[in-house]
Structure 1
């Protein structure tokens, strides 16, 4: 029996009692670690009869990963950069060649760095302009606290200085002697950018930029033409750019445009002008430009007007052209804008539902633009568009043994929900599967921060699809799938729209024959885990099994705790519960606060012990309270990775063991073992 210690939490004259509040006391209460280990053991016992299945699933998923592989080399100056994997290697080896046919030079071997460690993340790396040095950051705990190292590539040795407590952005100044990086404060918020000079001690580093407000994260970025370094302070609904010449590390830092509530912008530089993508006049953003030395809004000239149909996402300049990334009808697209003529060419893609993103485009003086492309039934490929011929060349295709795209049907549905909004849903199923309601259905969603889950290829999920599951990605409000208003309609005091959209779409998919009530598996992580917690309360009989990965389920208590790393930043997503209106609204949907005595579905929640984003105790408390109030006999389990953080295991094969465990849980609860 798990102990209960009533802890009173009082706000606005109202007191809530949390009997599992003690679970946050990892260092002072030995029962916490015992609880975590005991739950891991309970899950292992429950899954003990699936060991053969887990091994089978692991081999299947690993078999879809090419053991010996490498990325397409990308030119940057005289060198071509690429990563490669060796047989059995968990981590990439970062390499380059002087010329495409040159001799390989290993810059960093992730496998050697990971020796003797349970976890490794190479957060960022940057090569100095003179090509002689490499700065990189390492996290060995999963807590997203990095150390910065500087390597002499000619001598294959490290500089003496190691900079602690950094995050994951690095920019070299053009003298190859100075670099800047972002620093964490005591709440693990990247709040400052500092300047470091080679061979000096980090204590001598000077501050270039500081952000005092807890609602903003700070990072640095270099313009594509290498002329400027930007310091970006970004919150959920506003942002601010400052800049410094990349040729003058001691120069003054200048402001582009002062931030304001609900005012966001991004900056690119080309030929003495800043190109600014901003939502100052339209929710879906417009593009303006101004001289670098005249950034005030009085000098802004509109280049592309805002549009209800097109959501502008990014603008990036190269020497002879720029690429505008936008979202239209829920799908991402690229437009190539020629600097000399102003002519606009669209890069079109044939499938109804697909995912496309910019790949490595390091060269400023180029006539080609590289992308990664896939669809639900189409493995990832690296493709390159020629701005002159408009031809698209395929450079690499993900190799999946025994996979045939034509064996699957991909659909893009539009489903009407309770307030008559039309929600996009991307679906894949095997050919020959009848829509008679007999198949199990796997639904996935996220729906927060304006982040859109792209309908790209997910080779791991084939292990469920091949076992009879239809798979659907629901794109609810709270994402920006249908533009910025789609996001705004699923946050703050409209957050419940996200949950209603997901439930209503699941219901409709059942009515359309993709499955039936009680024969559905749902999964989501982080804020998508909040979605899982919400649907657990809203429609417990609709889902047979729910997997909530690192779920944000104790929303009200977390948002009232300013000592946690992300709380203040999150005010602009969920609202500040110090305001009574937001307090009441968050309380009305926070999963932990709304558990009742009902028959809950089978549940597996996961956590990372070192996770700074969603603390392990949120899913721990949630699962234990579900057990207390569950009046049925469903399986309710909790798993903690004791060596990782928000993203779980870090190796390319190691994480598959956790995936195999999750899928085995799903298949067992569906009696498909």
Structure 2
């Protein structure tokens, strides 16, 4: 399935890393400072004046020296070590509580578990977690009499002693043993089910190596493909298509690789030379075509490749027209195309014949209040994921036979959901079946996988995430409220709390989360670790602010470029609403955002530091102007379509007005925790480091200001599932300490 409006969570800013920094021994030595190695006084980064002048405006960055592209500068690493040591010393008195909190959070998860198996050819494929292990096993089982058993909502994988045995294709735990960081972002089975290609990242820099292995014996097949993205697909049983990046990590070339040949002899199918565009790759659900998309934030055009004849190269499906963006699928004699333009901003759905792509037939017209978010295409059905009034919807349509004319869609059937606010996403479905699989959750409903029969309307739950420790969803309340922004716009807020622990009189602590960029929809999702706050009387809320995509394409357009300030004022309006409605008070209001949400944190802290008690900014994009003025930084050029090009005077002054590093003032700020990843390829570690250094030298309060830099991780922090839970316990401990809510142990 395709992902519409596929934007990066934030600009890529990492370069190639030194091999010495990736070894576990080196990483351990870098983070070996303990609380006894340093005094409680915070480190003071040295000031080295760096003047930047543009349009008659002079900016002085005294901490520019912290940027080291190689990440090997002893002076920079020493400073980051000092910050980590200071953080450890400040929180040393809460370490016992943090450890207990980690045990509590870990105690809620079912450590040994498997995903819902999905059918692919003659096999069930699934992943397995083992007790005590950080990473996944990738497994499969043969389907008995698979040609005689059509897919059904009542399908279950046979696991009896007389049924085909489980086969472990790949155990990530074994692969991860020699690495401080380990992540697999693609796991693709060949059409004949004999081979697997998987994309592996062992540094956190999102520069992948693709390995091909024999499924039965696990042996490598040929040499791995190096320095590639995680976009890799099988064209046929012995041919891969993949993407590489240029020197600023922009995906720019599509390659054809024949198994058994050297990567140096691969054929380049397409080179995108416009440095504001990036390319991506998907395979159709029908498995007959591959689609190569080239896009920036407002334009997207598509090529297609016949998977049976990849050597024939790319053919144009939708042309490059500025302001028109399209995504494609395939079924039978037709391509299905979602197309967005300035006129049709919430998108329309079209069909065109495979043998004449210039002829299009409208299937779903543009609607001003309903946004087409995604689709799943089947041999006889179409499922459309939409958004209306901030909530996702799923509509299932029956399609005419492949050999019949495709002129319109019959009335679709909507799937009903039970919570007032929720999230629903496509899951792996079988193309030749009538069964739509989707995942569902809400702020009080654990992640659930459903199979929905599009012929009968029957829906069957296949799996609900197990939450240990006596969890009862009925004990929690979810709500949807609306705050009024400064310009009168109504901004939705999703809220959850434990009904018997919350007073709703202003005395309760509240954690408000926000993002608001790239048209990303932050739908209300379940998180078991969040129960550790809710069960301590917290309220959790999500501000669905402009710049995101929750309310349609225009919602995004009204929170970018020269309207970006709406993102920040919307968040402030949501915070003020929650206080006015007595969900909390200023003394109990905590805020959280990561990446572009970290930009949100930095901006609102500068604008209204009096409004918040505690803030967590994860890997925050806070040096907006300096970063966006440097086209040598990875993907800056493509990000101009999101933030604007500050080489133009109007954008320069507007971006300077909200760039967090440029707007720190001598005033009181809340308690603040900031995190960074040394190998982060999206937000260079130096941005949060500079923000903390300048803030510490400027602010007038004595509140906590802590920086935690992970030396063996990238944008998503550590890679192991328990390591991530440990980080969550660390963040919650900081918040509880700032609120003076940690009990004596």
Matched, 1:156 2:218: yes
Counterpart selection for 1:20 from 53, 63, 66: 63
Q: Is the 8 A contact 1:445 1:502 kept in 2?
A: yes
SS where residue 132 of structure 2 aligns?
Answer: coil
Q: Supply the distance in 2 between the matched residues of 1:27 and 1:528 (Cα, whole angstroms).
A: 25
Counterpart selection for 2:457 from 355, 370, 390: 390
SS where residue 443 of structure 1 aligns?
Answer: strand
Could you report, residue by residue, the CA deviation over 1:74-105 in whole angstroms, capped at 9, with x for unpaired residues? 00011100000111110110001111432111
Q: Supply the distance in 2 between the matched residues of 1:616 and 1:631 (Cα, whole angstroms).
A: 25
Matched, 1:10 2:78: no
SS where residue 172 of structure 1 aligns?
Answer: strand
In the alignment, which residue of structure 2 is the partner of 1:181?
Answer: 242
SS where residue 311 of structure 2 aligns?
Answer: coil
Shift of 1:360: 1.5
Q: Is the 8 A contact 1:518 1:541 kept in 2?
A: no
Q: Is the 8 A contact 2:590 2:614 kept in 1?
A: yes
Shift of 1:295: 2.2
SS where residue 614 of structure 1 aligns?
Answer: coil
Counterpart selection for 2:466 from 392, 396, 399: 399
Q: Please show how residues 222-237 of structure 1 align to structure 2 within 5 Å.
A: 222-237=283-298
Could you report, residue by residue, the CA deviation over 1:602-625 in whole angstroms, capped at 9, with x for unpaired residues? 111101000010000000000111
Shift of 1:388: 1.8
Shift of 1:428: 0.5
Matched, 1:320 2:388: no
Q: Please show how residues 635-646 of structure 1 align to structure 2 within 5 Å.
A: 635-646=704-715
Q: Please show how residues 124-143 of structure 1 align to structure 2 within 5 Å.
A: 124-143=186-205
How many corresponding residue pairs?
A: 669
Matched, 1:36 2:80: yes
Shift of 1:640: 0.4
Could you report, residue by residue, the CA deviation over 1:23-71 in whole angstroms, capped at 9, with x for unpaired residues? 0126564221011011001010011011111111111111122110000
Q: Please show how residues 404-423 of structure 1 align to structure 2 within 5 Å.
A: 404-423=472-491
Q: Is the 8 A contact 2:483 2:493 kept in 1?
A: yes
Q: Please show how residues 222-621 of structure 1 align to structure 2 within 5 Å.
A: 222-280=283-341, 281-296=343-358, 299-340=359-400, 342-361=410-429, 363-401=430-468, 402-432=470-500, 433-621=502-690
SS where residue 731 of structure 2 aligns?
Answer: helix
In the alignment, which residue of structure 1 is the partner of 2:737?
Answer: 668
Could you report, residue by residue, the CA deviation over 1:296-326 in whole angstroms, capped at 9, with x for unpaired residues? 3xx2221111111210012232011011111
Shift of 1:283: 0.7
Shift of 1:630: 0.8
SS where residue 577 of structure 1 aligns?
Answer: coil
TM-score calculated relative to the size of structure 1: 0.98
Q: Supply the distance in 1 between the matched residues of 2:478 and 2:185 (Cα, whole angstroms).
A: 35
Q: Supply the distance in 2 between the matched residues of 1:52 and 1:263 (Cα, whole angstroms).
A: 55
Could you report, residue by residue, the CA deviation over 1:529-583 in whole angstroms, capped at 9, with x for unpaired residues? 0000011111101111110000000000000011111211110100000111000
Q: Supply the distance in 2 between the matched residues of 1:167 and 1:61 (Cα, whole angstroms).
A: 33
Shift of 1:155: 3.5
Could you report, residue by residue, the CA deviation over 1:140-166 in whole angstroms, capped at 9, with x for unpaired residues? 000001101110123320023111101
Q: Supply the distance in 2 between the matched residues of 1:249 and 1:276 (Cα, whole angstroms).
A: 21
Q: Is the 8 A contact 1:477 1:487 kept in 2?
A: yes
Could you report, residue by residue, the CA deviation over 1:446-497 in whole angstroms, capped at 9, with x for unpaired residues? 0000001110111111111111211100000001111111110000000000
Q: Supply the distance in 2 between the matched residues of 1:214 and 1:600 (Cα, whole angstroms).
A: 39
Shift of 1:15: 2.2
Could you report, residue by residue, the CA deviation over 1:202-228 in whole angstroms, capped at 9, with x for unpaired residues? 101110121112222212111111111
Q: Supply the distance in 1 between the matched residues of 2:552 and 2:692 (Cα, whole angstroms).
A: 35
SS where residue 522 of structure 1 aligns?
Answer: strand
Q: Supply the distance in 2 between the matched residues of 1:626 and 1:518 (Cα, whole angstroms).
A: 21
Could you report, residue by residue, the CA deviation over 1:499-521 in whole angstroms, capped at 9, with x for unpaired residues? 00001110110110110123211
Shift of 1:414: 1.3
Q: Supply the distance in 1 between the matched residues of 2:670 and 2:101 (Cα, whole angstroms).
A: 23
Say which structure, 1 or 2, has more relative contact order (CA 8 Å, 6+ apart). Answer: 2
Shift of 1:656: 1.3
In the alignment, which residue of structure 2 is the partner of 1:168?
Answer: 230
SS where residue 605 of structure 1 aligns?
Answer: strand
SS where residue 114 of structure 1 aligns?
Answer: helix
Counterpart selection for 1:94 from 138, 141, 150: 138
Counterpart selection for 1:70 from 114, 117, 125: 114
Cα 1:621–1:97 change in 2 (3 A) is same
Matched, 1:106 2:168: yes
TM-score calculated relative to the size of structure 2: 0.89
Q: Is the 8 A contact 1:330 1:482 kept in 2?
A: yes
Counterpart selection for 1:53 from 90, 97, 100: 97
More off after superposition, 411-420 vs 4-13: 4-13
Q: Supply the distance in 2 between the matched residues of 1:155 and 1:394 (Cα, whole angstroms).
A: 34
Matched, 1:193 2:254: yes
Q: Supply the distance in 2 between the matched residues of 1:659 and 1:144 (Cα, whole angstroms).
A: 22
Q: Is the 8 A contact 1:522 1:546 kept in 2?
A: yes
Q: Is the 8 A contact 1:519 1:542 kept in 2?
A: no
Q: Is the 8 A contact 1:152 1:158 kept in 2?
A: yes
Q: Supply the distance in 2 between the matched residues of 1:359 and 1:290 (Cα, whole angstroms).
A: 26
Q: Is the 8 A contact 1:209 1:231 kept in 2?
A: no
Q: Supply the distance in 2 between the matched residues of 1:659 and 1:212 (Cα, whole angstroms).
A: 41
Q: Is the 8 A contact 1:181 1:219 kept in 2?
A: no
SS where residue 632 of structure 2 aligns?
Answer: coil
Q: Supply the distance in 1 between the matched residues of 2:583 and 2:350 (Cα, whole angstroms).
A: 46
In the alignment, which residue of structure 1 is the partner of 2:35?
Answer: none
Shift of 1:419: 0.7
Q: CA RMSD in A?
A: 1.2
Q: Supply the distance in 1 between the matched residues of 2:636 and 2:211 (Cα, whole angstroms).
A: 30
Gaps of 5+ in 2: 1-43, 144-156, 159-163, 401-408
Q: Is the 8 A contact 1:5 1:22 kept in 2?
A: yes
More off after superposition, 576-585 vs 95-104: 95-104
